[in-house]
Structure 1
Amino acid sequence: MSQRIRVFALGGLDENGKCLFVIEIDNDIFIIEAGLKYPDVTNPGIDAIIPNIAYLKQNKNKVRAYIITHGHDDQMGALPYIYRHVPAPIYGSSATIALIKQYSQSIVPAVKFEFVPIKPTDHVTIAGYHFDFYQTVHAIMDTSGFALETVYGNIVYTGDFIIEHNSNKNYKHDFNALAKIAERDTLLLMTESSGADKPGYTSPNHRLAPHLALPFQEATSRIFIALYNQSVYNLEEAIEFAFSQGKKILFYDNETEDYIRTFQNFGSLSLPKERVVLRENHLRMPPQDLVILMMAPGEKIYKKIAELAIGENDDKTFKINTTDTFIVAAPSAPNIEILASNAIDDLYRTGASVVNITRKKITSMHAQEEDIKTMISLLKPKFYMPIKGEYVQHVANAKLAVSLGIGLNHMNTFLMDNGMILEINEGKARVLSHEMDMIATGDVLIDGLGVGDVRKDVITERQQLADDGVIVMGITISRKMKQIVAGPDVQMRGFVFVRDSDNVMKELTNIFKESIGEYFSKPAMTLEEARTLVIEKSWRFIKRETGKRPIVIPIIIDTTL
């Protein structure tokens, strides 16, 4: 018996986030993750970016399942947007499903998912194929990797993981299950690359608790702890440490409480009622007994911090005092460093004791060199494919694999890009990278409720507005009478003049009048052509005078039309 296997990514290669991998065996498609990523400054006004799923739409009758290994938005954030186009059962742990539901309610509440709950370590048959799931340790509870059985051996997808030994059932690297998988041949190993360029094991440098001891010891009043939503492992550490110090927990806002209660509701997080203070009662509590938890995703956590620090938060019963201790346990990512730096600066201005825990002190919970080596050495794959992260991290991952001396080399270790296909047929692998063979990929921009309807020229205009501002020019005319009825009026926003602004305003007014005069003198000229003439003349003048290119919007009202 033979199988034609195709493995490719619609997102998640040479980028951080937007993960969506596809395993296609004959006429059966399995979608692994369906994530998003957040925009940088080059995409102003965009809320999120998801993968192009045109291929999945065209082949939706072949899609048998979504497999979501954990509940981070880079793994499942695209689901609310793409599911109605490509519906299929979603397999995930109870924690993962709960987070998908909570996240989707805030995005597209009308979407009806078909969920199939599985245990983090489980044996499941999907569309006739055998999947062995094994529990992993990551920043969120109940995460998994899996092995998909084929006639040539297993395709093993590690998910996000670190090698750690602990007694917490929510964060258990199930070596027993993994060892059983390793007893069978591994055809292809797909391993994350985000930490592949960092030496050693991730553990124990990912742990928050050691960094809490001194601030708790020195604190004389309330303690604030700010965390990313993604860092549930660190959240549990913070709660457990606070309880060990005799403190009580207070949720900063509804968003924080709802998120934490999600885990409590299905029994994965213990929060004794007597140890949690209601927000309406917090002013009546001794301040030295309180630990206030603040959580939010991505850059939003720093917006919350800044608003509280400068007194622009919604709940005015919360105000930072000079006696407070504020622990920022949300190391900033490169795309939000400026926002993070400004927020922390605002915290220092309050006079509170600030503890900023950076990536130099605590590492991200992604596999580093020794974690990856352990996985490769255990499974000894015939073929190897680094996934997730930037290209430089993929290269580091591939070099690790080749260095282990288990038969991996440049012929069977594949550095892929989104859209390239790894085809395995009769046990032999090749990469289809010709333009004619590749799957269509790219970014689909999410703008409010709009999905993919923001064109490149709209983004360019937004960037232009941000960089150079806007000039709005208005005039009312009568072409029949060949005269100006009212105006012209020139208004400017976000536009900085290099020279005397009065002279620029005067010249723009003259350009507007001259262009209207040309419109009067040329009967064949349309109103739209007159507007274009105003824009072009204005741009030439502004470029010469200021070096800038603002958006110019001429509004011409003809009373005779």
Structure 2
Amino acid sequence: MGEKIRFFALGGLDENGKNMYIVEVDDDIFVIEAGLKYPDSTRPGIDFIIPNIDYLKNNKQRVRAYIISHGHDDQFGALPFIYDQVPAPIYGTEATLMMLVRFTKKAGLKREYNLNVIEPSSTVKIANRNFVFFQTTHNAMFSVGVAIDTSQGYVVYSSDFIVEYNPSNRYKLELNEIAKIAEKNVLCLLAESMGAERPGYTSPSHRITPHIDGVIRDAKGRVFISLYDQSPYSVEELVAVAKKHNRKIMLYNESADEYFQMFKEHNLPLCEPNMLISPDDLFRVNENTLIILLLNNGEDLFDDINDLALKRNKDKRFVLSEHDNFIIACPAPATLEIQATETLDNLYISGTQVHNVSRKLVSNMHAQEEDLRMFLALLKPKYYIPIKGNFRHQEANANVALKAGLNYNHTNIFLLDNGIPVVFENGKGKTLFKDEDRIISGDLMVDGTGIGDTNRGVLEDRLNFSSDGVIVLGLIFSMQKRKIVAGPDVQMRGFVYLRDSESLLKQVIKIFVETVEKNLLEPEIDMQKISDEVKDKVERYIYHDTRRNPVIIPLIRPLD
């Protein structure tokens, strides 16, 4: 009897980020990626969102490995928060595992990972099964895809990739290794979808060099540039341009310095040592030969730029002037568009010369239509599953396959949502849509180091705090005398100014006192009942009078 294969996603489908794909071969579970995504404005106070892992916790004795394709937090960012609950060996290239360890430290966590370094293009035996890794071109160094060998053929995971003939061995697409995989039957291809809506190949529109070369060449004075620390590809582009125009690079802050040092310690230097200049030499260097690099993750990077523009930066040696050029080479994702727009405005206000490399100018390093078509033509999988992206991206990816002229149709292309499994038996695949077959999936919210303990009610309160404010009602009563002995006191924050709310305040106090006094006449005093009743009555009155929903906090305490 042949092996039974099951595939489903716990995250990454119909969403951007939080990637987690499960491949089960008989009793063995292999987890491909364990990523996070960042919250939008509807989830205030939440740091990260990670996949619900109830299925993995309930089957942790069967989890054989985590496979991490590259060094981005949407691929590995959940691991620090779930690893103690579901431990298993982690496989990735040295550059990938280095970034995982760095992220874990920045999250303030200590984890004893079982790390296993793989070569970018190699065959590794995991749980007595061959995993064939092949290098891909992405903006993370030494990223890989993987083919899992099964009795029904390979299950291939593309990872993030583009077709580019890059001379650097750090970012090359190993077409020879992929061709070798294609020589054996490929059962299924799991291919990324983020760029599927865009026609043509991604390359060369992903490169920042055409947009920064002229600015750096012609600049009379210092050049500031901001880059994401998850894109060493872009950092190495900057280094090449700087070298071409005989400029040195100064690292703006400790985060950038630590980043460069980390790559150097792992024998993956980003530049020659003589290209870097210490900030201590800022006033001793010819301004016409200087590039100052701001390097950080998304939100923190825009904070750094904003602080510099508004002169709130800690290191007062760095001050923008009208003679400086500032290149923003970090196009904002959707969750940071508001912050990025405000930052851009503040840079213009500072008087410096601003050059904005927007997403209209530079493409994400994700496979577009022709990149995907080439992968399909090379591997010719029996089944095709678009993954990684919102549903419109997955659908666009499916349409690429339909139009590829390779006999794909609705019977061998599976458009899935998180938790919906596909089962392969005897070389035939089918999707299981029944409720009893569906795997529990969803979001776990990380608030600090707390995981999953922030519910919808807490988020609604935070939103109300930020939009409608808070009203705190306080008094003290005597349990023996059954009467109020101190108060009432009402404090409003972020709601209405007291000088504009005298009548409203009087009515709130009246409702508060009358509700408490009525309950004090009861034979049994139920503190929770009093608090809930006060909250309900005050909320209804406030909304009726103002159409606002402030958070109501009753503080009612007995004296004896």
Structure 1: how far apart are the matches of 2:536 and 2:327? 54
Q: Is the 8 A contact 2:70 2:142 kept in 1?
A: yes
Q: Is the 8 A contact 1:99 1:262 kept in 2?
A: no
- Cα shift at 1:479: 4.4
Structure 1: how far apart are the matches of 2:144 and 2:235? 20
Partner of 1:329: 329
1:85-484 equivalences under 5 Å are 85-484=85-484
Partner of 1:509: 509
**Secondary structure, in 3 states, of the residue corresponding to 1:473?**
strand
Q: Which amino acid aligns with 1:365?
A: M
- Cα shift at 1:335: 1.7
Structure 2: how far apart are the matches of 1:498 and 1:354? 44
Q: Is the 8 A contact 1:499 1:546 kept in 2?
A: no
- Cα shift at 1:483: 4.3
Q: Which moved more, 1:330-339 or 1:369-378?
A: 330-339
1:499–1:540 CA distance, 2 compared to 1 (3 A):
farther
After superposition, what is the alpha-carbon deviation per residue over 1:144-202, rounded to whole angstroms, capped at 9, x for unaligned?
Answer: 11211111211111000000012111110111111111111111011000000111110
- Cα shift at 1:265: 2.2
- Cα shift at 1:270: 4.1
Q: Which amino acid aligns with 1:326?
A: F
Structure 2: how far apart are the matches of 1:148 and 1:534? 61
Q: Is the 8 A contact 2:137 2:163 kept in 1?
A: yes
- Cα shift at 1:221: 1.6
Aligned residues: 560
Partner of 1:72: 72
Partner of 1:24: 24
Structure 2: how far apart are the matches of 1:371 and 1:280? 46
Q: Which moved more, 1:287-296 or 1:497-506?
A: 497-506
- Cα shift at 1:60: 1.5
- Cα shift at 1:499: 10
**Secondary structure, in 3 states, of the residue corresponding to 2:294?**
strand
1:45-60 equivalences under 5 Å are 45-60=45-60
Q: Which moved more, 1:408-417 or 1:263-272?
A: 263-272
1:497–1:426 CA distance, 2 compared to 1 (3 A):
farther
Q: Is the 8 A contact 2:148 2:154 kept in 1?
A: yes
Structure 2: how far apart are the matches of 1:517 and 1:154? 74
Q: Which moved more, 1:357-366 or 1:55-64?
A: 55-64
- Cα shift at 1:242: 1.0
Structure 2: how far apart are the matches of 1:425 and 1:483? 74
Structure 2: how far apart are the matches of 1:18 and 1:518? 51
Structure 2: how far apart are the matches of 1:109 and 1:42? 26
1:483–1:95 CA distance, 2 compared to 1 (3 A):
same
Structure 1: how far apart are the matches of 2:73 and 2:527? 48
**Secondary structure, in 3 states, of the residue corresponding to 2:102?**
helix
Partner of 1:491: 491
**Secondary structure, in 3 states, of the residue corresponding to 1:13?**
coil
- Cα shift at 1:288: 2.1
Structure 1: how far apart are the matches of 2:307 and 2:97? 32
- Cα shift at 1:446: 0.5
Q: Which amino acid aligns with 1:375?
A: F
Q: Is the 8 A contact 1:194 1:393 kept in 2?
A: yes
Structure 2: how far apart are the matches of 1:530 and 1:56? 43
**Secondary structure, in 3 states, of the residue corresponding to 2:239?**
helix
- Cα shift at 1:414: 0.2
1:497–1:396 CA distance, 2 compared to 1 (3 A):
farther
1:157–1:492 CA distance, 2 compared to 1 (3 A):
same
1:321–1:232 CA distance, 2 compared to 1 (3 A):
same
Structure 2: how far apart are the matches of 1:530 and 1:113? 50
- Cα shift at 1:377: 0.8
Q: Is the 8 A contact 2:217 2:245 kept in 1?
A: no
Q: Is the 8 A contact 1:81 1:108 kept in 2?
A: no
After superposition, what is the alpha-carbon deviation per residue over 1:516-537, rounded to whole angstroms, capped at 9, x for unaligned?
Answer: 3323433444333222222122
Q: Which amino acid aligns with 1:411?
A: T
Q: Which moved more, 1:115-124 or 1:484-493?
A: 484-493
**Secondary structure, in 3 states, of the residue corresponding to 1:212?**
helix
- Cα shift at 1:497: 7.1
List gaps (5 residues or longer) in structure 1: none
Q: Which amino acid aligns with 1:271?
A: C
CA RMSD of aligned residues (A): 1.6
Q: Which moved more, 1:482-491 or 1:119-128?
A: 482-491
Structure 2: how far apart are the matches of 1:488 and 1:283? 62
Q: Is the 8 A contact 1:253 1:294 kept in 2?
A: yes
Quote the sequence identity (%). Answer: 43
Structure 2: how far apart are the matches of 1:519 and 1:280? 69
**Secondary structure, in 3 states, of the residue corresponding to 1:46?**
coil
Structure 2: how far apart are the matches of 1:85 and 1:513? 49
Q: Is the 8 A contact 1:476 1:558 kept in 2?
A: yes
Structure 1: how far apart are the matches of 2:511 and 2:270? 70
Q: Which moved more, 1:373-382 or 1:478-487?
A: 478-487
Q: Which moved more, 1:376-385 or 1:262-271?
A: 262-271
Q: Which moved more, 1:393-402 or 1:126-135?
A: 126-135
**Secondary structure, in 3 states, of the residue corresponding to 1:148?**
strand
Structure 2: how far apart are the matches of 1:31 and 1:346? 43
Q: Which amino acid aligns with 2:469?
A: G
**Secondary structure, in 3 states, of the residue corresponding to 1:436?**
helix
